[in-house]
Structure 1
Amino acid sequence: MLEALNEFPQGQHEASSYGQQLSVFTAKAPRLLWFDRATNTQVLEDFPDAIDLKTTLLASAVQRSEKQHSLAKDAQLGHSIGVALGAWLRSFLSWTSERGPARSSLRQAIAGNEPMRKLKHQITYDALVRVVSQFPGALGDRLPVLEEVQAAAAAEFDKKPPADGAEEDDSWGIIHGDFWSGNILLPSDDKLKPDASTAQQLFVVDWEFAQYGHRAYDIGQLIGDLIERDHFRGAKASLDVLAGFVSSYFPSGADDSFAFRVAIHTGVQLIGCFIRRAPRGPLPGTPEQVEQAIQLGTDFIVKGWTKDRAWLEKSVLAPLFK
């Protein structure tokens, strides 16, 4: 995947090309400079003084008497980060779905990453009913819907890419597979420039989960992760990033059927907060916060599966339905 990304035409996914939205950031994957398979040694393009977006968002939620974090005092800066990420992801998914032998060969190769595909299934949809069943208030009478979602996902995780030249659903292709704020690097707070004259760089890293899958998986994972940062830590800047990301990825608005799929995966991502930790590790928040997250995630799944657009338009996922 890293070798293929060296051929990804950097700079052709400027955010301004999507809905004429401008961003002071541009995103890319780091270049692979050298790889020795025998010793499992990689040399990647350096990104000095970088910090991951998760840490940046959490820092923005901390009240500091002496200094307010850049993202906390400038909502447009968070929005601009989201715009750059949406433009990049849209361009990446489009590029990997191009017809022709080169991209078809890449899809077949990445589809062979079965261990990570199985792991992603295991920690997302396969755990869905098991986790929600531990929260009777969230489960209610919705077990049949959750079981339908779980069964549909199990079939999808067995889906293979078609041979080159065959028709392919444009919702499917190579995905990053672990697209969340911890895998996005940006300049540290003292280096962020809201009014930079030249674009500042964002790096998308950690590609071992790259796999063949539904595009809603990457989109829903990032959206769910951003909601999680706000829910558990009060990182309001996460919602600025979310709005920018959605408006840039869907410059003309999302197709309803695709938006419902994103809502479902967003819910699955939120519910996963309960198991994305060591078996005896601490919960991501208070028991009340965790229960609320499970309830909200279950709501997203059920409303997405039943196509309840009216409910979703009034939720934090409203940007998807504009």
Structure 2
Amino acid sequence: MSDEYTTPSQFLILLDSTAFPCARIERIGEGNANFSFRGHLSEPTPSGLKTVFIKHAEPYVAKFRAFKFGPERSNFEYTVLEHLTTLDISTDRNTVSTPRPLQFLPDSHTAIYEDVQQSETLKTALLADRLSRETAVHVGAALGAYIARLHVWGRDAEQEALRRHLASYDEATRVIFSMTYGSFHGLITAFPGLLAGNEDLFARAKQWAQDVFFGEDGGRRTVTHGDFWTGNILVPSSLSQTVAEPRSQNLHVVDWEACRLSAPGLDIGQMVAEMYLPFHFHANPVSLALIDAFLDAYARAGDVPVEEVLTAVKHFGMHLLVFPARTGWPKEGVEECVRLGLEYLEHGVGGDVEWVKGSVFKRLVRM
């Protein structure tokens, strides 16, 4: 399909024949892969909805047309979210859930979801330094409990249909692999002074990652988010104002098109890396408390095998190596971040559990 639906006026016509006709549609955000819109309904639904979130896929990445990416990802993600509607987690302060799927339009690769208004990403809140330490601890604990529950739930016999669905699609997995462990050669070129001489380490890490991303390894594989980071967590815009009034807040985990059967440590490592970066580059005062609460909650859900801890350590290292130089973090901190990422990758690949006990992942290791 060519560019049939990329502007608000086109979606006004498209949604007119659905259960969610709109009086006005506006483009929101600048998603990397997809086109996203907010639809203001012509009249509220019987359940009281006044707006909907519209997510549309073209056969390329929205921000980079030359990067081809099959639009089937839209149908894949919608089906995943249909399965996840019962997986909400509630803690003493937060509820973590996913946006409710409302309708899918297969001919146009367009999904209509519950709209999460008056929200921002957790990354935005961290960079703006809007979270108190108390709030960060509650958010970290809620997210740790949620992702731990997903990993346990994903192995249940009742999720066999979801596991079959995940096994049927791997394009997003291949894209992510090529952008991460498949990009080590370019890293050496970009940072020869820091990384030259580490070719064997990178080859070992890449081979390990190929086995984790694409191998069978049935004992470890479960349902994972696949792109679990602070930019895919929506928090209320008012979250930072709740210290004096500790009322329940809703957190939403979004962007599930990379959901796959894989090792849980990949979700852990990516999230911890993105929680850590605001501390590394901006000395954010709550990042480390957020990480500790996240890992404590994950560990409380059950013993974490050493192999899974090392997976998280390796993935954290890869993330610090690969992404900060690409994603707009201050240049003056990138080389030190790359050096730290190399250290984590080296100790993770080497299986150095004693070293891990003194790292940011110490909360996962049972002494």
Match of 2:146 among 80, 88, 94: 88
Deviations 1:100-159 (A, max 9, x none): 4xx223212222222101111011111134314543453365432221111221233322
State the AA in 2 paired with 1:177. Answer: G
Equivalent position of 1:258 in the other structure? 308
Deviations 1:207-251 (A, max 9, x none): 111122221111111011111122123223222221111000111
Matched, 1:14 2:87: no
Equivalent position of 2:271 in the other structure? 222
Once residues 362 and 227 of structure 2 are traced to their aligned partners in structure 1, the CA distance between those partners, rounded to angstroms, is 23
Q: What secondary structure, in the 3-state scheme, does the structure 1 residue paired with 2:214 have?
A: coil
Once residues 118 and 98 of structure 2 are traced to their aligned partners in structure 1, the CA distance between those partners, rounded to angstroms, is 16
Note if contact 1:180-1:225 (Cα within 8 Å) is conserved in structure 2. Answer: yes
* Structure 1 position 294, deviation (Å): 0.7
Change (3 A) 1:50 1:315: same
Once residues 195 and 89 of structure 1 are traced to their aligned partners in structure 2, the CA distance between those partners, rounded to angstroms, is 28
Once residues 320 and 132 of structure 1 are traced to their aligned partners in structure 2, the CA distance between those partners, rounded to angstroms, is 31
Matched, 1:319 2:358: no
Note if contact 1:128-1:268 (Cα within 8 Å) is conserved in structure 2. Answer: no
* Structure 1 position 268, deviation (Å): 0.9
| CA RMSD across the alignment | 2.4
Note if contact 2:317-2:340 (Cα within 8 Å) is conserved in structure 1. Answer: yes
Matched, 1:158 2:214: yes
Once residues 137 and 250 of structure 1 are traced to their aligned partners in structure 2, the CA distance between those partners, rounded to angstroms, is 38
Once residues 237 and 88 of structure 2 are traced to their aligned partners in structure 1, the CA distance between those partners, rounded to angstroms, is 25
TM-score between the two structures when normalised by the length of structure 2? 0.72
Larger radius of gyration: 2
Equivalent position of 1:36 in the other structure? 105
Match of 1:231 among 280, 291, 300: 280
* Structure 1 position 83, deviation (Å): 0.5
Once residues 274 and 197 of structure 1 are traced to their aligned partners in structure 2, the CA distance between those partners, rounded to angstroms, is 34
Change (3 A) 1:143 1:39: closer
More deviation in 193-202 or 4-13?
Answer: 4-13
Note if contact 2:123-2:231 (Cα within 8 Å) is conserved in structure 1. Answer: yes
Matched, 1:179 2:235: no
Gaps of at least 5 residues in structure 2 are 1-76
* Structure 1 position 37, deviation (Å): 1.4
* Structure 1 position 12, deviation (Å): 6.0
Equivalent position of 1:64 in the other structure? none
Once residues 231 and 51 of structure 1 are traced to their aligned partners in structure 2, the CA distance between those partners, rounded to angstroms, is 22
Deviations 1:161-194 (A, max 9, x none): 8xxxxxx31x212211111101100111467413
Note if contact 1:2-1:31 (Cα within 8 Å) is conserved in structure 2. Answer: no
Gaps of at least 5 residues in structure 1 are 16-22, 61-68, 162-167, 278-282
State the AA in 1 paired with 2:357. Answer: E
**More relative contact order, 1 or 2 (CA 8 Å, 6+ apart):** 1
Higher strand share: 2
Match of 2:353 among 309, 315, 319: 309
Q: What secondary structure, in the 3-state scheme, does the structure 1 residue paired with 2:89 have?
A: coil
Match of 2:119 among 50, 67, 72: 50
TM-score between the two structures when normalised by the length of structure 1? 0.81
Matched, 1:5 2:54: no
State the AA in 2 paired with 1:183. Answer: N
Note if contact 1:177-1:209 (Cα within 8 Å) is conserved in structure 2. Answer: yes
More deviation in 179-188 or 43-52?
Answer: 43-52
Matched, 1:127 2:183: yes
Report sequence identity in percent. 26
Once residues 316 and 259 of structure 2 are traced to their aligned partners in structure 1, the CA distance between those partners, rounded to angstroms, is 19
State the AA in 2 paired with 1:27. Answer: V
Q: 1:140-151 counterparts in 2 under 5 A? A: 141-151=197-207
More deviation in 87-96 or 179-188?
Answer: 87-96
